[in-house]
Chains A and B, each alone.
Chain A
Amino acid sequence: MKGHALHAFLRPEALPTVFCPGCGNGLVAGALLRALAQAGIALRQTVFVAGIGCAAWIPSPHFLADSLHVAHGRAIPTALGVKLRRPELCVIVVGGDGDIAGIGGNHLLHAARRNADLLVVMVNNLVYAMTGGQVGPTTPHGLPTSTTPYGNPEYPMDVAQVVAAAGANYVARWTTAHLPQLEKALARALTLEGFRFVEVVSQCPARVGGRLAMAPVEAMKWLRAQSKPVGEAGPEEIAVGEYVVRHRPGLLRTLKEQNHGGA
């Protein structure tokens, strides 16, 4: 680990990570750290906010940066509190699909609607993994999980599309099998203002792979094979690419202009 290019960005006492062998979280962590470097944003001026879940552990405690690790689902409002008070800091939320789109779904919608100046990275591993692999808001229809042993009777939410419709300035989806594209999307998101959302569909070898008898590498091959560009993907496929790129003023700029003009 010592000689690794990203070692300087990681907290030594938190290594090795607790992530399961073959987990996609390490790939997302690497892409995010490289994107920050690419965008020229120092960790010193970055605050990571996380809720509860496997993906929430990507920044806390691993990143050698300020991090707030709060309640399940509540990373986005916490992050907005930080950003409103310290607009000069880069505030990034990292969380899983259950955390961000399930229990925190209302906060996600409203942060997008407000065009709040945050980057939210949602690692979508299709289930609640930390608690044992229960069905989540993104679980494919029919997939067996520990709480849908007869298959998921519900349909998954297309979170990227929902966030785009809610008013975000930037929305993209990639998978852990598209690391260069993911890194580029994150770096682009970091240069924009307003609400930015990047979804990463990821493999969970422990809770999904295990049930489907699919090794991590097979899962990544499957992710790549299932992926089609946005607009071309069918309902059973994974749409990848940019959903929306807007340049509307972010909430912070609007508030600033209002207050300077008002009082």
Chain B
Amino acid sequence: MSPERRLWSGNIAVAEGALAAGVDFYAGYPITPSSEIMEHMARELPKRGGVFLQAEDEIAAIFMLIGASWADAKAMTATSGPGFSLMQEGLGIAVMTETPLLVVDVMRVGPGTGQASKAAQGDLLQARWGRHGDQALPVFAPSSVQDCFELTVFAVNTAERLRTPVVLLSDELLAHTWETVRVPGEVERAERRRPRDHEPPFGSPDPRLPPAMPRLGEGHALLVTASTHDPWGLRQTSDPEVHRALVERLWQKIWLNREELFRYEAVGVEEAEVGVVAYGSVARSALAARKILAGRVRVGVVVLKTLWPLPEEPIRALAERARAVLVPELSLGQLVWDVERIAAGRCPVLRFPKVGGGIPIFPEELAARILEILR
């Protein structure tokens, strides 16, 4: 296929990215502002030999993904806040059973049913920590329609490589923004590792290397359980050592590979007078504010595209150089806690929260705040 340019919305670009990455199974439940992703997959997947099913609820959707993934599918779903809350149960099961799958959360105003379907960024900590128990899963966030395509491909590949569920956090503004996307002629596709003889499906000698994943129906007599299990999948619900070894390995599998997960843009960090750390649609406003102030204030911007594990180095570098770091968020402030921790007193870290109505953080108001900081 030759490279091409396409005009897509963020939601369409997510669906196209998933298809390019080889996603062949989609189950979901309608919820705005994510529905276009599901509708696109409903049209496209059957034409390409894939499977699409509309589930009875989001809980069913994510468990269909788990079953399909063990049956060798590259599986995904998309939802928004209320549905994402329901999917936490399945995400926890997917973490424990090391099941590759992708959940896209197109964030809207919460809590509860909030304001459907206005943009927000209130699900960051839920994406990271929404499940009970010790666990980690990669979280990515696009900030352009191009990112929606590329990061979806990367998220699907990451799920396969690390044998883990992955969350992609989009937001309503991005979902319904139309931009030109450069679609590469070829897209890299990662394939999960298959077991060699006598290789345990839930054990690995190297904590960085996820266990190989067998397919159902091949005579492995595979035991898959979301309860604590030994490397062969046998339930061990009393032995503390089996549990410690398992949850540590599940954590290390993500943590020790974090460098490979880091995606971010650091713009003008070296000479920054004021820093901004942002992600999603808000990052676009941060970059625009930088342009507004060009020639007056040297603004450094770190656009985070990996939200967990968090790339700390660019944030630290920004805090080293800037007189203050501003963290604009479409929430009361969730990312700012991390930035404060990472800045560790190198410079003041200032919140810039905005919630409700789906009103963007405008470049002009960010620019005004930056000037105010310097006064």
Contacts and interface: CB of A to CB of B under 8 A. Distances in A.
Interface of A: 11, 13-14, 43-45, 47, 49, 60-61, 64-71, 74, 76-86, 88-89, 106-107, 109-110, 255, 258-259, 262-263
B83 to A, nearest CB: 14
B67 A49 contact: yes
A112 to B, nearest CB: 11
B162 interface: no
B219 A80 contact: no
B75 to A, nearest CB: 7
A44 B67 contact: no
B53 interface: yes
Interface stretch (B57-65, B179-187, B327-335): B57-65
Given A78-B63, A259-B46, A65 B221 contact: yes
Contact of B93 (A71, A88, A106): A71
Contact of B70 (A45, A68, A262): A68
Nearest to A80: B64
A81 B216 CA distance: 12
Contact of B56 (A60, A83, A110): A110
B47 interface: yes
Contact of B67 (A78, A255, A258): A78
Query: Nearest 3 pairs between A and B by C-beta?
Result: A81-B67, A85-B71, A81-B64
B47 to A, nearest CB: 4
Contact of A61 (B25, B47, B69, B234): B234
Nearest to B68: A81
B341 to A, nearest CB: 33
Interface string B22-45: 000101000000000000000000
Contacts of A80: 53, 64, 67
Contact of A82 (B70, B97, B225, B235): B70
Contacts of A79: 67
Contacts of A66: 216-217, 220-222, 224
Contacts of A85: 25, 51, 67-68, 71-73
B226 interface: yes
Given A79-B67, A85-B25, A45 B46 contact: no
Interface residues of B, number: 42
A258 B234 CA distance: 40
A64 B221 CA distance: 6
A79 B70 CA distance: 10
A257 to B, nearest CB: 12
A82 B222 CA distance: 14
Nearest to B224: A68
A68 B57 CA distance: 21
B259 to A, nearest CB: 32
Given A78-B63, A81-B65, 10 more contacts: A44-B219, A68-B67, A70-B63, A70-B93, A78-B67, A80-B64, A81-B70, A82-B67, A84-B67, A106-B57
Contacts of B61: 77
Given A44-B217, A71-B93, A84-B68, A61 B235 contact: yes
B55 interface: yes
A84 B52 CA distance: 9
